[in-house]
């Protein structure tokens, strides 16, 4: 069974997943806002002398500011770009650039960077923005031109950041950028950023040993201090090459040498989590949180690791601090809700879940709060609030219908769940998840033809939907004599998802029904080894029993009964075969 708080995936989602994000040499300022908060946070003001503008420019600026007050930053950006072009005022250009960056508006950033350079040709910031945007447009010659302009001024050209961006490019574009970097290195042989950038590009192309070799001069401390981003990349490469112990030992040592390198310490903490060294990870993130108290991601990471380790009080304290500081507010409320939920404090759990705003945790919070309210006798009001949410948030309406259907299923309100699924499909007929839920309801109610019709419709629209193929194949195996057709469906599902234990179980079961005992035992054993739940145990045990290995069948069933005492499928199978449940 999975732990209640599985932090690995969550922490990777906080930007701790790759060395490309961890290449800096020192602590950097963080906004402290979650992604959705940043998108609606107005950028800082730049000095603008409004008296210098003509009437059209003033109108654009006024329209922009009114839109900003209403939260319509897209409209604000359009008006500011127009004002920047017409006025060529540096303050307006900078303000427009801040807005474009806060909205991740790449085209606007490139337009504004080029305009900025027309007004202020030596602007380092404008050159940096232009370089990044030209990489995103795959115009590498222009990107490197702007980087060289920064180098000519004797400044940090951010070649490492430019190379890190290449990880999202196709391989052929990465190869082209690598060739340009190698040419650039010939003109600037002592530039460590360029050398490091080449190592990053080699890593992106899967040439880990070549990347490691490229780092060696940057790690040589005989004449100058080691280039700290190279230390981080070396640890990441060691881990990727399978030398996990060496990577952990290396990063532990280096993080002690450079305790103020936040990114180095964060990478070490992430690797400890991936290796399930959870207490060491908690200690590491506690140390990072103490060193960098103004970096909210570290506090959230510490809280989640502490939860995984059962250190609930300290986790709650850190989550509450985040809320008090208005940092990662939704995430903090969600996990406080999870804590209360696990403790059986339903009222507090609902209160916390209800404060989760839009973002990754919104739907899980709504789903769990609705379930808790329903199971506490407040189902009608919970469903009424769901209906209101669907009206308020039409973009999430399909998912909110799924919340309703699944809540009703969890509460054994099958007739109502069927009605909700049918109503939802009138508006969203192509939603495979809602249609699949209805198919499973039809199957449970013995309405096999209707279940098949829904699953057929999913497969017609999504022929590679392994879940629907498996469900239909299993229903045909259990409820009809169309075993050959069932096997064809299940074998297609298996090709699409060969390691899925549910599919392995279905394939094994249809072989059993067909009398192919050797194949049945092979697939059922593989399914059982991967996921020994009661249904798989019932199937595997029956195949063993019928094949003559009755003692092993009893072992499998006994284990299932011990681990799942409320299960009904194993006892039913045993009774049908004339076996006593008291083994």
Q: What is the pLDDT of residue 104?
A: 85
Q: Residue 421 pLDDT more than 80?
A: yes
Residue 553 domain-assigned (yes or no): yes
> What residues contact residue 160 under an 8 Å CB cut-off, 6+ apart?
23, 193, 196, 197, 200, 229
518, 540, 559: which is the final residue of a domain? 518
Percent of the chain topping pLDDT 90: 64
Q: 130: closest CA among 44, 119, 98, 115?
A: 115
How far apart (Å, rounded) are the C-alpha atoms in residues 459 and 489? 10
Q: What is the pLDDT of residue 24?
A: 43
Residues 505 and 536 in one domain: no
Q: Residue 446 pLDDT more than 70?
A: yes
* Cα distances (Å, whole numbers) of residue 163 to 94, 377, 506: 26, 57, 47
pLDDT band of residue 52 (cuts 50, 70, 90) is low
Q: What is the pLDDT of residue 69?
A: 65
What global pTM score does this model have?
A: 0.75
Q: What is the pLDDT of residue 19?
A: 46
Q: What is the pLDDT of residue 44?
A: 47
* Boundaries of domain holding 490: 464-518
Q: What is the pLDDT of residue 51?
A: 45
How far apart (Å, rounded) are the C-alpha atoms in residues 49 and 537? 76
- Reported as half-sphere exposure (CB side, CA atoms, 13 A), residue 134 has a value of 18
Minimum mean pLDDT range among 279-283, 327-331, 423-427, 577-581: 577-581
Residue 510 domain-assigned (yes or no): yes
Percent of the chain topping pLDDT 70: 85
Q: What is the mean pLDDT of the chain?
A: 86
| Residue 381 CB coordination number (10 Å) | 11
Residue 512 domain-assigned (yes or no): yes
Minimum mean pLDDT range among 65-69, 463-467, 486-490: 65-69
Rounded mean pLDDT of 349-366?
95
Q: What is the pLDDT of residue 70?
A: 65
* Cα distances (Å, whole numbers) of residue 22 to 7, 211, 221, 459: 19, 16, 21, 43
Minimum mean pLDDT range among 147-161, 243-257, 369-383: 147-161
Minimum mean pLDDT range among 45-59, 460-474, 496-510, 511-525: 45-59
Q: What is the pLDDT of residue 68?
A: 60
Higher-scoring residue by pLDDT: 237, 135 = 237
pLDDT band of residue 561 (cuts 50, 70, 90) is very high
Q: What is the pLDDT of residue 61?
A: 63
Q: Residue 36 pLDDT more than 70?
A: no
Tally: H helices and E strands in the chain: 33, 0
Tens of pLDDT, residues 279-301: 999 999 999 999 999 999 999 99
* Cα distances (Å, whole numbers) of residue 67 to 40, 70, 293, 364: 12, 5, 35, 32
The encoded tokens of residue 424 equal 């939802």
Question: What one-character-per-residue DSSP string does 520-548 give?
Answer: HHHHHHHHHHH---HHHHHHHHHHHHHTT
Q: What is the pLDDT of residue 79?
A: 78
Q: What is the pLDDT of residue 582?
A: 65
Q: What is the pLDDT of residue 157?
A: 61
Q: What is the pLDDT of residue 185?
A: 87
Tens of pLDDT, residues 127-155: 988 988 887 888 888 888 888 888 787 76
Q: What is the pLDDT of residue 226?
A: 83
Residue 569 domain-assigned (yes or no): yes
Residue 484 domain-assigned (yes or no): yes
Question: What one-character-per-residue DSSP string does 162-199 give?
Answer: HHHHGGGS-HHHHHHHHHHHHHHHHHSTT-HHHHHHHH
Q: What is the pLDDT of residue 160?
A: 66
Count of domains forming the chain? 2
Residues 511 and 478 in one domain: yes
Contact between 487 and 514 (Cβ < 8 Å): yes
Q: Residue 445 pLDDT more than 50?
A: yes
pLDDT band of residue 255 (cuts 50, 70, 90) is very high
Tens of pLDDT, residues 484-499: 999 999 999 999 999 9
Q: What is the pLDDT of residue 27?
A: 39
Name the DSSP letter for residue 103. T
Burial of 90 (0-12, 13-18, 19+ CB in 10 A): middle
> What residues contact residue 415 under an 8 Å CB cut-off, 6+ apart?
none
pLDDT band of residue 20 (cuts 50, 70, 90) is very low
pLDDT band of residue 194 (cuts 50, 70, 90) is confident
pLDDT band of residue 38 (cuts 50, 70, 90) is very low
Residues 469 and 507 in one domain: yes
Q: What is the pLDDT of residue 28?
A: 39
How far apart (Å, rounded) are the C-alpha atoms in residues 97 and 534? 59
- Biggest alpha carbon distance in the chain? 95
Residue 575 domain-assigned (yes or no): yes
H or E element: which one contains 335?
A: helix 329-342
Residues 546 and 510 in one domain: no
Q: What is the pLDDT of residue 43?
A: 46
Contact between 549 and 558 (Cβ < 8 Å): no
> What residues contact residue 347 under an 8 Å CB cut-off, 6+ apart?
none
> What residues contact residue 32 under an 8 Å CB cut-off, 6+ apart?
294, 295, 296, 325, 326, 327
């Amino acid at each position: 069974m999975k732990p209640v708080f599985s932090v690995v995936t969550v922490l990777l989602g906080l930007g701790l997943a790759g060395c490309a994000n961890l290449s800096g040499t020192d602590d950097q300022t963080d906004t402290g806002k979650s992604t959705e908060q940043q998108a609606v946070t107005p950028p800082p003001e730049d000095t603008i002398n409004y008296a210098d503008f003509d009437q059209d420019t003033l109108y654009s600026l006024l329209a922009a500011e009114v839109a900003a007050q209403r939260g319509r930053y897209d409209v604000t950006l359009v008006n500011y770009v127009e004002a920047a072009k017409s006025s060529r005022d540096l303050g307006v250009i900078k303000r427009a650039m801040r807005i474009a960056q806060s909205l991740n508006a790449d085209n606007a950033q490139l337009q504004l960077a080029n305009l900025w350079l027309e007004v202020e040709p030596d602007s380092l910031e404008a050159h940096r923005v232009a370089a990044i945007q030209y990489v995103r447009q795959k115009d590498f010659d222009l990107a490197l031109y702007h980087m060289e302009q920064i180098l000519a001024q004797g400044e940090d050209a951010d070649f490492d950041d430019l190379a890190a961006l290449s990880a999202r490019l196709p391989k052929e574009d990465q190869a082209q950028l690598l060739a340009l970097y190698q040419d650039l290195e010939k003109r600037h042989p002592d530039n460590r950023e360029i050398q490091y950038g080449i190592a990053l590009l080699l890593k992106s192309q899967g040439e880990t040993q070549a990347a490691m070799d490229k780092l060696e001069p940057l790690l040589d401390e005989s004449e100058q201090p080691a280039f700290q981003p190279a230390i981080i990349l070396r640890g990441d490469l060691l881990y990727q090459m399978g030398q996990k112990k060496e990577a952990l030992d290396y990063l532990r040592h280096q993080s002690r040498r450079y305790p103020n390198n936040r990114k180095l310490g964060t990478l070490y903490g992430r690797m400890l989590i991936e290796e399930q060294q959870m207490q060491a990870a908690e200690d590491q993130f506690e140390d990072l949180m103490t060193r960098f108290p103004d970096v909210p991601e570290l506090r959230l990471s510490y809280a989640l690791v502490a939860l995984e380790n059962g250190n609930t009080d300290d986790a709650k304290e850190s989550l509450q601090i985040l809320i008090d500081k208005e940092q990662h507010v939704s995430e903090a409320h969600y996990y406080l809700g999870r804590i209360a939920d696990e403790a059986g404090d339903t009222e507090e759990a609902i209160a916390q879940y209800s404060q989760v705003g839009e973002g990754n945790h919104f739907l899980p919070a709504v789903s769990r709060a609705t379930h808790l309210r329903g199971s506490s006798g407040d189902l009608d009001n919970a469903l009424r609030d769901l209906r209101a949410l669907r009206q308020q948030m039409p973009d999430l309406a399909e998912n909110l219908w799924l919340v309703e259907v699944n809540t009703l299923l969890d509460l054994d309100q099958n007739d109502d769940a069927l009605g909700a699924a049918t109503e939802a499909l009138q508006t969203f007929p192509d939603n495979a998840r809602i249609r699949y839920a209805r198919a499973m309801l039809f199957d449970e109610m013995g309405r096999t033809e209707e279940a098949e019709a829904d699953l057929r419709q999913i497969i017609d629209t999504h022929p590679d939907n392994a879940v629907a193929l498996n469900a239909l194949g299993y229903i045909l195996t259990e409820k009809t004599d169309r075993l050959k057709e069932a096997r064809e469906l299940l074998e297609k599902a298996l090709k699409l998802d060969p390691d899925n234990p549910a599919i392995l179980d279905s394939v094994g079961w249809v072989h059993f029904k067909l009398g192919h005992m050797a194949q049945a035992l092979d697939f059922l054993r593989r399914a059982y080894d991967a996921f020994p739940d009661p249904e798989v145990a019932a199937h595997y045990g029956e195949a063993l029993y019928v094949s003559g290995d009755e003692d092993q069948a009893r072992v499998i069933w006994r284990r299932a009964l011990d681990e799942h005492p409320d299960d009904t499928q194993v006892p039913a199978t045993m009774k049908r075969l004339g076996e006593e449940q008291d083994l």
